[in-house]
Structure 1
Amino acid sequence: MVNRTQFVAVVDDDESVRRALKRLLNSVGVEAETFPGSEAFLDTLSSATAFVPACAIVDLQMPVIDGLELQRRMVGTGVPIIFLTGNDDPAVRAKALAQGAAGFLTKPLDGAVLIRTLQTTLGLRDLPPSDSPNSR
């Protein structure tokens, strides 16, 4: 399980996706903080010295600062990024992974795949199974 002081950031411009991801993560004992966009996440990351998520789950397509730009701006923070997108463009996938993304998942999301990706990314051996197999 994620250490009590650790949490996962969920960055997505769709409120229903943020809620569903938070519910899914909480169901397996992972604390989640949600952000409606990259700007809000970057503002919090830069202004709060104790705010360092264990991982960020990031929507690829967001207004103003998209997921790839957010990834570029986070280089050097040590925060792994798992991308979540409705557009599985192979070139974008390759670019995100080449730039160090820990995962690239597509919507509609299979919750079990996200949990396995999170386990791998954070080096966790056991998260309890989620109550809901899918999160949309």
Structure 2
Amino acid sequence: MSKVKPFVAVVDDDESVRRAIKRLLRSVGLSADTFKSGDEFLDMFDAIPAYRPDCIVLDIQMPGLNGLEVQRRLAGSGIPVIFITAHDEIGIREQALAAGAAAYLRKPFDDEILIRVVRAAIHPPP
């Protein structure tokens, strides 16, 4: 019986960021779905109960729902959230981490670090 490949949801309003992260994740054997907004992701998440990514890479600042609001709505789902942002603000970082974010990365981030935190979020140490 084959094991299902883990997949990551990438939510960012910048198409080039979504494309780059999806390519990066594919290069290490992870699949990814991309969404241009928190609203678009939550529509899919709410509409299809079986749709549960192993991890979410989530931008903080987006039109519509921001990343912190998406994280709040996912509370209790058990899905790890990794925040990415171009506008690092200490208060926002503290809020995200206090609410359970697995990581908080400032753009531009190192590819290896993103891969490491995604893998750690999907397969946390015992």
TM-score bracket relative to the smaller structure: over 0.9
Q: Which residue of 2 aligns with 1:130?
A: none
Question: Structure 2 unaligned runs (5+)?
Answer: none
Aligned length: 123
Q: Which residue of 2 aligns with 1:93?
A: 93
Which structure 1 residue ranges, 4+ long, deviate > 2 Å from structure 2? 3-6
The percentage of counterpart residues that share the same residue type is 50
Coordinate RMSD, CA, aligned: 1.3
Give the deviation of 1:4 after TM superposition: 2.3
Question: 1:124, 1:80 → 2: CA distance?
Answer: 10
Q: Which residue of 2 aligns with 1:131?
A: none
Question: 1:77, 1:52 → 2: CA distance?
Answer: 9
Higher RCO (Cα < 8 Å, 6 or more apart): 1
Give the deviation of 1:57 after TM superposition: 0.1
Q: Which residue of 2 aligns with 1:102?
A: 102
Are residue 30 (structure 1) and residue 36 (structure 2) matched?
no
Q: Which residue of 2 aligns with 1:11?
A: 11
Question: Structure 1 unaligned runs (5+)?
Answer: 126-136
SS in 1 for 2:87: coil
Normalised TM-score (structure 2): 0.93
Q: What amino acid is aligned across from residue 91 of structure 2 in structure 1?
A: A
Normalised TM-score (structure 1): 0.86
